[in-house]
Chains A and B, each alone.
Chain A
Amino acid sequence: MKQKEVFSGPALGLSVLTAALADAAAPAGSVRTALLSGLLNAAVLSALILLAGAFWQRSQAFRLAWMTALPLWLLAELARTVLQAHAVCREEFRSMALLGALPLLLWAGGQLAPGSWNAAARVLWWMVFLGIVLCLPGLLGQMHWARLVAADAARPARSVQALVYAEYFFGPPQCAGKTPKHLLGLPWLAFAVQAAAWLGMGLVFGAGDYPQRELLRAWNAGVFSRLDALLLLVWLACAFYRIGFLCTALRTCLCGTAPAGKGAAE
């Protein structure tokens, strides 16, 4: 029963989803072109993950370079997520409370084992699922194909920037050189989030150039006229998760093995 604990697919997926939700912005060009280039990006990234896994097994120098670069990348992602979460707290809730909670989050990240993050991810995935279920009916009535088509015709064709995260390349270090299949799905998950945001913005606002959060503010269902704060809170919970998750990932990366922290199989 005792085995080395690794991050599960849903745990890595939730982390990528959180980052993608924060990074997905309305495309500057046509949605159709953006979708096509996004598809291409995801396919290329999946191939890169496979290639990196193969190189990991063959080249010692590559492994060394990877193990030097990955912690730095994770650290950069951690800092970026903290800044994104803090911006949401400050701008949307006029609160600096994240700064107070940050030491506790980092401490939790240093203490908990990957198994704990796997279990927490499952609960948060259900919350995300409920958030999507709540979000869709409030927006469906405001979506019109005509707006999307008109917006597409008005905008020039431009490719979009791919969403690349450290989680994509976390497989070999934690799985003894193997690349688990679920890692190949991570770029596609990020693309799905991006595509949903593009389509949503296009269908609701057409060619109008609004910030992404306006999509949440457009939500409306009967007596409940606003839901944006609730959905932002769900994202914030996921951001808290990502901060702690990245801390544990960083520790895992630096220690070489999964930490036997609190909640780890004794």
Chain B
Amino acid sequence: MQKLSRSLAENLAALDALFGASADYYVKEIAIYHCKGAIVLFDGMASLDSLWELLLDAASRQAPPNRSDAQPLTGQEAYALILHGSAFPAESSPVQDMPDLVKRLTAGMAVLLLDGCAEGIAFSVQGLKYRSVEEPSGEGNLRGSREGFADLLRVNLSLLRRLIRTPDLVQEVQQADTAAKTEYALCYCKSRADPAMVRRVRKTLAAAKPELLLDSSYFVPWLLPSWARLFTPVSYTERPAAAAAKLCEGKIIVLVNGSPSAMVLPALFCENFECLDDYASTAVFASFLRVLKYASFYLTVFLPGVFVCLAVYLPELIPPQLLYKIAAAEKATPLPLFAEMLLVILVLEVIREAGLRMPQSLGHSVSLVSALILGDAAIATGLMSTPVIFVASVTAIALFVTPSLYEPAVLLRLGVLLAAGIAGPVGLVGAFFAFLLSLSGTGMMGVPYLAPHPFPQAPLAEDGVIRRNYRRLSRQGFNIWQDRR
């Protein structure tokens, strides 16, 4: 590790070798208390105005302390005076080596290097431009806080600290072992989180070597090393209020610099059907919404498969009136029902992806073209039947009720459809069973993804498919690490 030299020229030469070619690298030689020194910072990351107000202006106004021999201060004396003998708001820990100096500079600090002193003084004068704290577009809420995480880690940490104003909240910041040395934070409440699990997560994240770290989700392959899984027992939020609520449940939050998405671990399956609004409305209404959400999720996964299975293999289960209509519609189309459904579902996914990736102005055109031209034309030309389009549309809309389960739901829907279309009712049962096992086999840090309450307790639990009055819920706080037998 390269230590700082006592010679200012040597230090500046070393820095020049590292950053000299960079346009944002700024170095200004100054004299402070008649001692030679230099201010080093990155333009746009540190604020020169703040530095001027905090240090340079104040120092120039003050007369340098007199020495008995009327000599100017040495670098070491000026360093001691600024760090310990003045009211300048310098960082308490000095900069002693080159990696630390680079770390401080890239964090937006300004560093004062003095000739004759092998240590630098850092000043927190960050003037970074960043996206302001706005309402997250991906998580809609009717009540509660409108704030969302920003991209800057320090801002996000301050948002959490503002909500949990107790010494219980711990926010550990580390630099990841990546090419870009990105910072991440591990946040938890020390009296609520399981210390062993916190240690385990800390160790795993420290050992992780992602090539790049642009979001907290990049850590998932290190936290859950299995090669394939349908459900991931972690959740994400962009709301500080939601993150604070999870911290109070004993969960661990991972934030990464440059991303507004906080990873919450571990997560439960039922949490995909809950939101902050649930607790702001009455228990009856919240329970009703939850039942609807569960129904929507199962509808989106199983409806196309069940429809194909019933219409093709078990028509006797469909009431005659409905069966006649389906049969009449199918007679007019050239493709078999299974192929038709598969095609519509794949086209819907293509449309969805196109709408998501296109610029917003074009996204509307994509929706219009798909809804009016594709949908209408497909039926008018007799390529697709109305029941198939109806089922696929219901399925697509139902999926938006639980956006956090989008990925598994799409894969499962296709899987169920293929199984039911190819192997009939037995395939449908097989697909359901695979779905059930993938759910029940998922777990993280000893916490199963599905609540392990025996039948018939779970859906009628305190805060399950239906929930009780919030006053009653508050009597017995929930902690993820509690004995969940």
Q: List A residues at the B interface (Cβ < 8 Å).
A: 1-3, 8-10, 89, 93, 95, 97-98, 100-101, 104-105, 108, 111-112, 115-126, 129, 223-227, 229-230, 233, 236-237, 240-241, 244, 262-266
23 contacts between A and B (CB under 8 A): A1-B446, A93-B424, A95-B425, A95-B426, A97-B424, A104-B434, A112-B437, A116-B437, A116-B441, A119-B452, A121-B455, A123-B440, A125-B456, A223-B320, A223-B321, A229-B316, A229-B317, A233-B429, A237-B429, A237-B433, A262-B226, A265-B443, A266-B445
Contacts of B319 in A (CB 8 A): 223-225
Count residues of chain B with CB under 8 A from any CB of chain A.
44
Q: Residue B450 at the A interface, CB < 8 A?
A: yes
A-contact bits for B404-439, CB 8 A (1 contact / 0 none):
000000000000000000011111111011101101
Residues of chain A within 8 A of B445, CB atoms compared: 266
Would you call B440 and A100 a contact (CB within 8 A)?
Answer: no
Interfacial chain A residues near B440, Cβ < 8 Å: 112, 115-120, 123, 263
Instruction: Collect the chain A residues with CB atoms within 8 Å of residue B446's CB.
Output: 1-2, 265-266
Identify the 6 closest CB pairs spanning chains A and B, nearest first.
A125-B455, A119-B440, A97-B423, A263-B441, A97-B426, A223-B319
Q: A9-B454, A122-B454 are in contact. Are A97 and B439 (CB under 8 A)?
A: no
B440 to chain A: closest residue by CB: A119
Q: List B268-291 residues whose CB lies under 8 Å from chain A.
A: none
Looking at the assembled complex, report how far the CB atom of B403 sits from the nearest CB atom of chain A, in whole angstroms: 23
Residue of B nearest to A265 (CB): B446
Chain B residues with Cβ below 8 Å from A126 are: 455-456, 459
CA of A241 to CA of B440, assembled, Å: 12
Q: How far is the CB of B333 from chain A (nearest CB, A)?
A: 25
Tell whether B481 is near chain A: CB-to-CB under 8 Å: yes
B448 within 8 A of A: yes
B residues near A237, Cβ cutoff 8 Å = 429, 432-433
**Any A CB within 8 A of the CB of B57:** no
B453 at interface, CB cutoff 8 A: yes
Chain A contact residues: over half helix, strand or loop, or mixed? helix
Closest residue of chain A to B437, judged by CB? A108
Q: Which residues on the A side are within 8 Å of B425 (C-beta)?
A: 93, 95, 229, 233, 236
Out of B314, B424, B429, B444, name the residue touching A240 (CB < 8 Å): B429
B69 to chain A, nearest CB (A): 69
A89 touches B317 (CB 8 A): no
**B53 contacts chain A at the CB level, 8 A cutoff:** no
User: Is residue B45 contacting chain A, with contact meaning CB distance below 8 A?
Assistant: no
Residue of A at shortest CB range from B316? A226
For the complex, give the distance between the alpha carbons of A98 and B15 in Å.
69
**Beta-carbon contact of B454 and A266 below 8 Å:** no
Do A97 and B453 touch across chains, with their CB atoms under 8 A apart? no
Chain B residues within an 8 Å CB radius of A244: 437
A137 to B314, CA, bound (A): 22
Given contacts A263-B440, A265-B443, A265-B446, contact A10 B455 (CB under 8 A): yes
Given contacts A93-B424, A240-B433, contact A224 B443 (CB under 8 A): no
**Are B428 and A233 closer than 8 Å at their CB atoms?**
yes
- In the assembled complex, the Cα of A111 lies from the Cα of B314 at a distance in Å of 33
In the complex, B344 has a CB within 8 A of chain A = no
Known A119-B448, A120-B436, A122-B450; further 12 A-B contacts with Cβ < 8 A: A3-B485, A8-B454, A97-B423, A97-B424, A116-B440, A119-B440, A121-B454, A122-B454, A126-B455, A229-B316, A237-B429, A266-B443
Report the Cα distance A123→B138, complex, angstroms.
31
Q: Is the CB of A100 within 8 A of B423?
A: yes
**Among B424, B430, B436, B484, contact of A123 (Cβ-Cβ < 8 Å):** B436
**Which partner residue on chain A sits nearest B428 by CB separation?**
A233
Q: Contacts of A229 on B, CB cut-off 8 Å?
A: 314, 316-317, 425
Q: Which residues of B contact A263 (CB under 8 A)?
A: 440-443, 448
Instruction: Name the residue in A10, A100, A116 with the highest tally of chain B Cβ atoms < 10 Å from its Cβ.
Output: A116
Other-chain residue from A2, A89, A115 in contact with B448 (beta carbon distance below 8 A):
A115
Question: How close is B313's CB to chain A, nearest CB, in angstroms?
Answer: 7
* Bound CA span A225–B321, Å: 12
Bound CA span A263–B437, Å:
10
Residues of B437-483 contacting chain A, CB below 8 A: 437, 439-446, 448, 450-456, 458-459, 481, 483
Q: Is A120 in contact with B455, judged by CB distance below 8 angstroms?
A: no
* CB of A219, distance to nearest CB on chain B (Å): 11
**Is the beta-carbon distance between B454 and A118 smaller than 8 angstroms?**
yes
Q: What residues of chain A lie closer than 8 Å to B430, measured between beta carbons?
A: 97, 101, 104, 240
Contacts of A264 in B (CB 8 A): 443
Q: How far is the CA of A231 from the CA of B276 in the complex (A)?
A: 38
Contacts of B423 in A (CB 8 A): 95, 97, 100
Contact B448 A241 (CB under 8 A): no
Q: Which residues of B contact A266 (CB under 8 A)?
A: 443-446
Least CB separation from B309: chain A residue: A233
In the complex formed, the residue of A with least CB distance to B443 is: A263
Our pick among B433, B454, B458, B485 for the contact of A241 (Cβ within 8 Å) is: B433
- Contact across chains for A112 and B454 when beta carbons are under 8 A apart: no
**A264 to nearest B CB, angstroms?**
8
A86 nearest in chain B by CB position = B426
Which residues of chain B are near A125, meaning CB under 8 Å? 455-456
CB <8 Å contact, A115 and B452? yes
Tell me, rounded to whole Å, the shortest Cβ–Cβ distance linking A11 to chain B: 8
Q: Which residues of A contact B427 (CB under 8 A)?
A: 95, 97
- B456 to chain A: which residues have CB within 8 Å? 125-126, 129
In the assembled complex, the Cα of A112 lies from the Cα of B456 at a distance in Å of: 23
Interface centre among A121, A122, A125, A223 (most CB of B within 10 A): A122
Residues on B with beta carbons closer than 8 Å to the beta carbon of A112: 437, 440-441
How long is the Cα–Cα vector from A9 to B273 in the complex, in angstroms?
A: 28
Q: Contact at A95–B433, with CB atoms within 8 Å? A: no
Q: Give the Cβ gap from B302 to chain A, nearest Cβ, in Å.
A: 12
Closest B-chain residue to A113, C-beta based?
B441
CB distance from B433 to the nearest CB of A (A): 5
Q: Which residues of A contact B484 (CB under 8 A)?
A: 1
CA distance A117 to B432 in the complex (A): 14
Interface string of B139-168 (1 = CB under 8 A from A): 000000000000000000000000000000
In the assembled complex, how far is the CB of residue A120 from the closest CB belonging to chain B, in whole angstroms? Answer: 4
A126-B456, A263-B448 known; A119-B439 Cβ under 8 A: yes
Report how far A116 CA is from B485 CA in the complex, Å. Answer: 12
Q: Does B426 lie within 8 Å of A122, measured CB to CB?
A: no
